[in-house]
Structure 1
Amino acid sequence: MRHTIFEINFEKEITSSTIPLIAFGAALNIVVGQTAQLIKLPLYLDSVGTILIACLVGPVAGMITGAFANLTLGFFFNYAFIFFIPVTLVIGLYSGIVARLGAFKKWYTTLLAGVVQGLLAALTSAPIAAFMFGGVTMGGTDFLVLYFRAIGKSVVESVFLQGLAADPVDKSLSFLVVYILLSRIPRPILLRLPGYGNA
């Protein structure tokens, strides 16, 4: 079943066969993201599952994947994740749309799409981090915020500059991981899913 590029259809994307994929994507976000945070990587890597499911199923499924992962993290690890659900919605929506545009067909278009996603994520997350948490969220990129504060930048400026420094790299890497995963999935399986394979 083919889609128009900007089609948003809950009923087509949320079915008994796609719900397990959404759960898997949310779990992937949690495991990879928490591992990155545990070892204090200066990256998040907590949206690989969101991007993957947005590609395979569609933007609605991607948004639900990200939101569910952050709700789970908020309840069991750090309540701050709940406030960043708007960022996961942006990631899921954008990833699903660019997948339909063919962004994941080539590595270089994947990389470019990841950079743009990083900029969008930075714009979305900066006000939340600055005004809700004073710029510090106990993540691996907090040292960048503290650095910019130390050289005289305001909280908002520091958080935004941190986002510009880290998010494009983080999302580009996440997009490339998904590109590799998609290239390993047989075409007949992709064609059975309502997202990427039928874009």
Structure 2
Amino acid sequence: MANKIKIDKLSLFLIPIGIAVNFIGGQIALLLKLPLYLDAIGTIVVGALCGVVPGIIVGLVSNVLNSISDPITLFYAILNIMFGIAAAYLSKKGVFKSFGKTLLSSLLFALIGGGLGSLMTWVLYGFDFGTGTSSIFAIPLHETLGLPKFLSQFIAEFGMDIFDKVLTVIAAFGILQAIPTRFLAKLPLGKIYIKDADLALEDED
């Protein structure tokens, strides 16, 4: 028999919290009319602490919920899913233990969100500009500088996404650093973030 995918109880507890964090971040960006998304913080944190499958679930469900008010958001669910996969991989490599490496990881997340995202926008809108915030920057690049439409869309979305993902990974880093040792010890990837001194104290207890 094939091995069944199992999710521990604590990870199941964190999944809805991750979804809520994504929703709140996205709503803040909308209410403040920011040229940002801030809707992947929960996906990255859950992926970093609980692994690939919980990260995927948070990313997928977050986009499904957002698609209720904006149906096209559902097509971009693959991006949030990839954020969860990337977060789990980077976590295992110890990237989120270092603030500097965490900042660098924003480039990978921006390539997924802005790079692949711009390609999806290009296809979904009939090889033309989308209707989102990125179009505010993409259209002038095309009309004023004469850049090809897709290149204009790519530059606009990737540029926006770098800024968005820098803030996103900083927030995720702060959350990971703030979680108590006793809680981290119970999560699938939590021990990665436990300092040696704290781990020693845990063992003594």
TM-score band by shorter chain is 0.7 to 0.9
- Counterpart residue number, 2:61: 68
Q: List, as ranges, runs of 4+ consecutive aligned residues in structure 1 with deviation greater than 6 Å.
A: none
Q: What are the Cα deviations for residues 11-43 of structure 1, in whole angstroms up to 9, with x where unaligned?
A: 24x244322311111111111112202322111
Deviation at 1:64, TM superposition (A): 1.1
- Preserved CA contact (<8 Å) 1:58 1:196: no
Name the structure where helix makes up a greater proportion of residues. 2
Q: Aligned with 1:17: secondary structure?
A: helix
Q: Aligned with 2:118: secondary structure?
A: helix
- Preserved CA contact (<8 Å) 1:44 1:170: yes
- Counterpart residue number, 1:90: 82
Bigger radius of gyration, 1 or 2? 2
- Counterpart residue number, 1:146: 139
- Counterpart residue number, 1:3: none
Unaligned regions of 5+ residues in structure 1, if any?
1-8
- Counterpart residue number, 1:120: 112
TM-score by length of 2: 0.84
- Specify which structure has the bigger relative contact order, considering alpha-carbon pairs within 8 angstroms and separated by 6 or more residues: 1
Deviation at 1:163, TM superposition (A): 2.3
- Preserved CA contact (<8 Å) 2:51 2:88: yes
Q: Aligned with 2:90: secondary structure?
A: helix
Q: What are the Cα deviations for residues 40-66 of structure 1, in whole angstroms up to 9, with x where unaligned?
A: 211111100101111111122111101
The number of equivalent residue pairs is 188
Q: Aligned with 1:111: secondary structure?
A: helix
Q: Aligned with 1:18: secondary structure?
A: helix
RMSD over aligned CA atoms reads: 1.9
TM-score by length of 1: 0.86
Unaligned regions of 5+ residues in structure 2, if any?
194-205
The percent identity for this pair of structures is 28
- Preserved CA contact (<8 Å) 1:104 1:110: yes
